Amino acid sequence: MTIAHRRERRPTDMTERDAEATAPCTDAARARLVTAYEACELADLARTAVPIGEHELNPDGTPRAPGAVLADAARVLAAAQRFLEAAVVFERVGGADWQLVGDVLDVSPRTARVRFAMSEAAFREELLPSEGTGSGGAAGEASSLRAHMVREPLETALDLDDWVLRHEDGDSDLGTAPVSGGLVQRDPRRRTGKPS
């Protein structure tokens, strides 16, 4: 279950801090929210793979449902890939060039560009005003959810605040707005360009 489906916010739930944060966020802040969301999804998927169910193993230690753990691992890997793609998009929107991306991932800049340019283009397209078109199916639903996150960053950030606070391990002082508190609002006098 995604965080967007976990909780509904009503306009009356908004605090003064929320109202201040309704100003448009920078594209980089929106990209960072998508990255945070993908990290949340990855963490939730990985967490479900940790427990060993009471009836998961036969008495001889073999799996009762062959392939189930492998399927879980494949879902975690796919989520990790989405997290990586979102992180690359965030870095690119923040001004990183393909050389930096390639260096961090230990690949050539060209390989990095070939691998991630479509993800960046899709994100930048999500920043454009909606025309109400969308594809169906799971891919369309995921794309629609990402577009919603990009267009409604405060709602996403507040949901992520709740998620982080529910999963807090007590080792750090996260405050009451560990995600939304870090959002950077767009300066209406400045327009950002696409990095090379």
Report the domain count for the chain.
1
- Of 17-31, 100-114, 153-167, give the range with the top mean pLDDT: 100-114
* C-beta of residue 150 within 8 angstroms of C-beta of residue 120: no
Q: What is the DSSP letter of 4?
A: G
In a domain, 6, yes or no: no
The percentage of the chain sitting over the pLDDT mark of 90, rounded to a whole number, equals 42
Q: With 50 as the cut, is the pLDDT of residue 58 above it?
A: yes
Range of the domain at 112: 24-50+67-180
In a domain, 55, yes or no: no
Q: Which residues contact 70 (CB under 8 A, 6 or more apart)?
A: none
The total number of residues shown for the chain amounts to 196
pTM over 0.95: no
| Mean of per-residue pLDDT scores for the chain | 80
In a domain, 193, yes or no: no
In a domain, 118, yes or no: yes
Alpha-carbon distance of 156 to 147, in angstroms, equals 11
Alpha-carbon distance of 109 to 103, in angstroms, equals 7
Q: With 80 as the cut, is the pLDDT of residue 60 above it?
A: yes
Alpha-carbon distance of 183 to 21, in angstroms, equals 8
Q: With 80 as the cut, is the pLDDT of residue 135 above it?
A: no
